[in-house]
């Protein structure tokens, strides 16, 4: 196997760094103060706002650190009685919900059979969703079943609530779906 100069330097740097770190740890040097200092520097001037993890029903407490209105860190709150400052992998990734260059910021639509995404305005997208929901409900709504029992439902629409949405939104979502006669209603937090 032929190794180029870059690969050689990467291996050399990794080996040298690992050896140096291993030597420090083996000699009894604690890196904890350096790690704690680096963490303090990152959030030193930050405003701390208590919050709650949006993912599951546990509701782990979090501390959101922001500087000039921009989130710089999200961590577990050590005062939380059930998580004691620890967060699960989803909770640890809360920061990426807010600060992510890959997060979509506009409505993208791909028509059936199309190969490219098209940018739609929010009003157009919401009108299209409402149009399709009404059409599907009108075509599949069942008022009574064969024995005459009134059911008022449609089984052609499935509703999935989001785990990162607050309880108020999920409550309104449930009310809307039940009002439409949707039977299959689920929430991502439970899945």
Q: What is the pLDDT of residue 72?
A: 86
Q: What is the pLDDT of residue 35?
A: 64
User: Which of 53, 70, 101 is the C-terminal boundary of a domain?
Assistant: 101
Q: Print burial letters for 145-161: b (CB count within 10 Å at least 16), e (below 16).
A: eeeeeeeebbeebebeb
Q: What is the pLDDT of residue 130?
A: 94
Give domain status of residue 26, yes or no.
no
Provide the number of structural domains found in the chain: 2
Do residues 38 and 97 share a domain? yes
Do residues 77 and 129 share a domain? no
Q: Which of 87, 83, 58 is nearest to 73 (CA)?
A: 87
Do residues 97 and 130 share a domain? no
Give domain status of residue 119, yes or no.
no
Written as six digits, the tokens of 163 are: 């785990």
Do residues 53 and 91 share a domain? yes
Give domain status of residue 112, yes or no.
no
Give domain status of residue 57, yes or no.
yes
User: Which of 86, 101, 116 is the C-terminal boundary of a domain?
Assistant: 101
* pLDDT less than 50: residues of the chain: none
**CATH for 41:** 2.20.25.90
Do residues 129 and 97 share a domain? no
CB-based contact 31:53 (threshold 8 Å):
no
**CA distance readout (Å), 131 to 3, 138, 178:** 60, 11, 18
Range of the domain at 139: 124-190
C-alpha neighbours within 13 Å on the C-beta side of residue 101: 0
Q: What is the pLDDT of residue 136?
A: 93
CA–CA distance, 175 with 186 (Å, rounded to integer): 13
Give domain status of residue 52, yes or no.
yes
Give domain status of residue 162, yes or no.
yes
Q: What is the pLDDT of residue 56?
A: 74
Written as six digits, the tokens of 104 are: 């979509």
Q: What is the pLDDT of residue 98?
A: 81
Written as six digits, the tokens of 102 are: 């890959």
Q: What is the pLDDT of residue 127?
A: 96
Do residues 82 and 131 share a domain? no
Give domain status of residue 29, yes or no.
no
Do residues 43 and 88 share a domain? yes
> What stretches of the chain adopt beta strand conformation (E)?
47-52, 61-67, 70-76, 107-109, 118-120, 142-144, 150-161, 182-187
Give domain status of residue 164, yes or no.
yes
Q: What is the pLDDT of residue 52?
A: 85
Do residues 86 and 39 share a domain? yes
């Amino acid at each position: 196997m032929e190794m180029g100069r870059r690969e050689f330097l990467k291996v050399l740097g990794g080996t040298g760094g690992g050896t140096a770190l291993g030597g420090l740890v083996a000699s009894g040097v604690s890196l904890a103060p350096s790690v704690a200092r680096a963490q303090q520097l990152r959030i030193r001037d930050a405003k701390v706002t208590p919050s709650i993890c949006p993912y599951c029903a546990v509701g782990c407490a979090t501390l959101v650190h922001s500087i000039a209105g921009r989130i710089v860190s999200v961590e577990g709150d050590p005062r939380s009685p059930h998580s004691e400052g620890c967060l699960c992998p989803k909770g640890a990734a809360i920061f990426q919900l807010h600060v992510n260059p890959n997060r979509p910021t506009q409505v993208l639509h791909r028509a059936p059979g199309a190969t490219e995404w098209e940018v739609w305005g929010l009003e157009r997208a919401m009108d299209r969703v409402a149009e399709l929901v009404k059409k599907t409900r009108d075509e599949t709504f069942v008022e009574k079943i064969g024995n005459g029992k009134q059911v008022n439902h449609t089984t052609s629409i499935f509703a999935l609530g989001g785990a990162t949405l607050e309880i108020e939104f999920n409550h309104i979502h449930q009310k809307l779906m039940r009002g439409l006669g949707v039977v299959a209603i689920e929430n991502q937090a439970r899945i």
